[in-house]
């Protein structure tokens, strides 16, 4: 099998993108390759040299159509009328082994007409963070883009300090953003707005093609997917950190990894982005910001949709979020037949976790092995607050006793949704530091662990431990 290009986005025309080749890295070296994706994409017959050439911008495949996409976006609430791929190139779209259309996008591919003052490069640090996070979320079952490979070379670039330039090849079902529609709507290019909607429906929502009101249905479908996505973020303790409309995928995938973070000790006010002084994208505001972004998309699509659709779209988002979040949280508690009263059960538990600053992931994983009436103190590191948890566990015991699952089935369900291993910021930082020194072994080890987040992996216990003091509350900037 070889790459089968079908560059549908490029055929939209020059108003949607700028044709440009990647600017290759000098003296490229492979850092890590996602081998599992090679065969499905048709790259399994490529030699190591050919893969390195592709992933570092030295080789443009036959039939590819490299381009930089144009879009706009609301950034921290303020509208930027033109953004676009300032350091990324969509190499082309290929059909995978399941006949699904996949974008191959090279991040750090050099300057484009949308680079503004940027140098068009990514740095090794940010590429590693995206590779690890996108693959971690994928294996957790959270909708996300995928990472295919990282390469680096001799080139250095200045951020806060001098860093190694790098490229990341991303594989995604789509690179269309909420901001893509904003760009055409607010420049009064309504013909192109309709064209983009038609492309999006044809490519990603084909069941809507025969709808009487396809653009109304598109907005509702995107609102639903966004509600689903953010429910997953909240249930797994993931903070995106920069939910601008240009970072929101139209198909509800986690997109454009920057200053993200998995919450460690439960803190609903957790801010992972040190540039977010006002906490706009704090963990407990992600539901609200998802709604804000759906409202922005509704306004952008207003020239094509039925008047008054906004309220319906926002209700769709809210109802989807609440339904999926409730379902995920009750499964995390091991309940098979959830009911509305269970909301108080998990909300009160979260209050306890917050009040005693307990590790979110470790607690729920420990709870997955709990036996009704067998005592709960072994789940708590500090017995000083056991008395505060006792009333909650009394309620939990009563609830489990009327549930339909056996103890064995409940443990199995809970271990399949409460991960043992997550990408803690300090683990990513350790992998970055060793890779920047030229040793990628820790990056590969961590990647292997994250591919099996629900497994026991007894020989990898050090990756499941509570975060050490030095690694707590690490914040990451947008700079990359």
> Is residue 92 within a helix (H) or strand (E), and if so which, with residue range?
strand 88-95
DSSP helix/strand/coil, 425: helix
DSSP helix/strand/coil, 406: coil
Computed from CA positions of residues 180, 183, 185, 191, in that sequence, does the dihedral angle turn out positive or negative?
Answer: negative
Helix and strand element counts for the chain (H, E): 14, 12
Distance CA 377, CA 389 (A): 9
Residue positions counted in the chain:
480
Please give the biggest Cα pair distance in the chain.
Answer: 67
Both structure tokens of 157: 């670039």
Inter-residue contact 56 to 151 (CB < 8 Å): yes
Distance CA 236, CA 244 (A): 21
DSSP helix/strand/coil, 148: strand
Query: What are the start-end ranges of the E strands in 35-80?
Result: 67-69, 73-75, 78-80
- The C-alpha torsion from 121 through 123 and 126 to 130, rounded to 10°, is 60
Identify which of 203, 197, 199, 246 has the alpha carbon closest to the alpha carbon of residue 218: 197
Query: What are the start-end ranges of the E strands in 110-249?
Result: 122-123, 146-158, 162-172, 238-239
Distance CA 409, CA 360 (A): 22
Alpha helices in 356-440 (DSSP H): 360-367, 386-401, 407-415, 425-436
Catalytic residue, from 23, 103, 173, 246: name it: 246
Helix, strand and coil content of the chain, in percent to the nearest 5, comes to 45, 15, 40
DSSP helix/strand/coil, 422: coil
The question of whether 246 is a catalytic residue gets the answer: yes
DSSP helix/strand/coil, 97: coil
Distance CA 434, CA 442 (A): 7
Residue numbers annotated as active site: 246
């Amino acid at each position: 099998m070889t790459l089968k290009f079908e560059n549908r986005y490029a055929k939209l025309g020059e108003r949607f993108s700028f044709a440009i080749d990647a600017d290759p890295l000098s003296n490229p070296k492979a850092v890590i390759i996602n081998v599992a994706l090679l065969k499905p994409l048709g790259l399994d017959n490529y030699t190591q040299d050919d893969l390195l050439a592709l992933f570092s911008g030295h080789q443009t495949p036959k039939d590819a159509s490299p381009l930089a996409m144009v879009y706009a976006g609301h950034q921290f609430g303020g509208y930027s009328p033109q953004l676009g791929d300032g350091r990324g190139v969509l190499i082309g779209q290929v059909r995978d082994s399941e006949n699904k259309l996949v974008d191959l996008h090279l991040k750090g591919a050099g300057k484009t007409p949308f680079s503004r003052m940027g140098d068009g490069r990514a740095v090794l640090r940010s590429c590693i963070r995206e590779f690890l996070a996108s693959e971690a979320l994928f294996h957790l079952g959270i909708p996300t883009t995928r990472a295919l490979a990282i390469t680096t070379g001799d080139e250095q670039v200045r951020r806060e300090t001098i860093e190694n330039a790098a490229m990341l090849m991303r594989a995604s079902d789509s690179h269309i953003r909420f901001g893509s529609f904003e760009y055409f709507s607010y420049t009064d290019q309504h013909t192109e707005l309709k064209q983009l909607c038609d492309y999006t429906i044809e490519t990603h929502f084909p069941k809507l093609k025969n709808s009487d009101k396809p653009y109304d249905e598109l907005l509702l479908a995107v609102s639903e997917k966004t509600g689903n996505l953010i429910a997953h973020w909240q249930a797994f303790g993931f903070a995106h950190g920069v939910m601008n409309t240009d970072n929101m995928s139209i198909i509800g995938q986690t997109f454009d990894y920057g200053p993200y973070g998995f919450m460690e000790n439960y803190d609903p006010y957790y801010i992972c982005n040190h540039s977010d002084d006002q906490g706009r994208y704090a963990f407990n505001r992600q539901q609200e910001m998802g709604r804000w972004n759906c409202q922005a998309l509704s306004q952008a699509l207003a020239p094509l949709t039925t008047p008054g659709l906004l309220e319906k779209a926002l209700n769709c988002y809210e109802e989807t979020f609440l339904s999926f979040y409730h379902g995920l949280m009750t499964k995390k508690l091991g309940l098979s037949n959830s009911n509305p009263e269970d909301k108080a059960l998990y909300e009160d538990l979260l209050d306890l976790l917050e009040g005693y600053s307990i590790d979110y992931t470790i607690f729920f994983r420990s709870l997955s092995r709990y036996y009704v009436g067998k005592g709960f103190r072994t789940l708590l590191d500090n017995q000083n607050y056991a008395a505060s948890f006792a009333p909650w566990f009394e309620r939990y015991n009563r609830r489990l006793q009327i549930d339909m699952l056996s103890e064995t089935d409940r443990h199995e369900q809970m271990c399949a949704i409460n991960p043992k291993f997550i990408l803690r910021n300090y683990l990513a930082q350790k992998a970055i530091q060793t890779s920047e020194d030229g040793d990628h072994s820790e990056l590969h080890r961590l990647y292997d662990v994250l591919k099996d987040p629900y497994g026991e992996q007894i020989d990898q216990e050090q990756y499941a431990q509570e975060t050490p003091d030095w690694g707590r509350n690490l914040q990451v900037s947008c700079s990359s």
